[in-house]
């Protein structure tokens, strides 16, 4: 909830300026504590932390972001299936193909979905598929994902 001071607000941040009696009451009557939602040996990330907060034991059920993304998309994974999460990124020049942008230039979900459709056409088969969490109208006769 941080922000920058605003001159029109007398040099206060929007939160400092805001009338917040309910938040003030919660802060005044609340209890401060610390909860460790990341089990030892896990990288601190929202995927592991959210599982913990929702009551799941990551030690027993965490298998990576891929299965979480698949479940979010409604993809049913079988016991022998593997799901990988894929990010589209921007690489530097051919001489120095280092990742320069982890958002692929902030392309839209629709643009990313079209890339995934093309990847699936070029590399996918009956055992290996590229899917997108963005719902698209049918492209080139393909059913909606």
117 occurs within a structural domain = yes
113 occurs within a structural domain = yes
The structure's pTM equals 0.59
Report the domain count for the chain. Answer: 1
Query: Band of the pLDDT at 140, cuts 50, 70, 90?
Result: very low
pLDDT, residue 32, reads 86
Query: Band of the pLDDT at 2, cuts 50, 70, 90?
Result: confident
14 occurs within a structural domain = no
Residue ranges making up the domain that contains 92: 86-140
Pick the closest to residue 132 from 122, 141, 118 (CA basis): 118
Mean pLDDT of 58-79: 90
Of all residues in the chain, the percent with pLDDT exceeding 70 is 91
49 occurs within a structural domain = no
57 occurs within a structural domain = no
38 occurs within a structural domain = no
79 occurs within a structural domain = no
Pick the closest to residue 71 from 45, 49, 51 (CA basis): 51
Q: What is the DSSP string of 38-85?
A: S-TTS---HHHHHHHHTT--HHHH---HHHHHHHHHTPPP-TT-----
Residue 139 has pLDDT above 50, yes or no: no
């Amino acid at each position: 909830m941080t922000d920058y001071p605003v001159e029109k607000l007398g040099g206060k941040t929007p939160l400092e300026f805001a009338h917040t009696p309910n938040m003030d009451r919660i802060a005044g009557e609340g209890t401060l504590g610390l909860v460790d939602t990341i089990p030892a040996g896990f990288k601190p990330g929202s995927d592991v932390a959210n599982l913990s907060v929702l009551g799941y034991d990551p030690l027993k059920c965490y298998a990576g972001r891929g299965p979480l993304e698949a479940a979010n998309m409604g993809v049913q994974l079988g016991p022998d299936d593997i799901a990988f999460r894929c990010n589209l990124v921007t690489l530097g020049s051919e001489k120095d193909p280092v990742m320069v942008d982890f958002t692929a230039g902030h392309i839209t979900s629709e643009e990313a979905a079209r890339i995934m459709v093309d990847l699936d056409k070029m590399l996918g088969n009956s055992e290996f598929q590229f899917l997108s969490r963005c719902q698209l109208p049918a492209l080139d006769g393909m059913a909606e994902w």
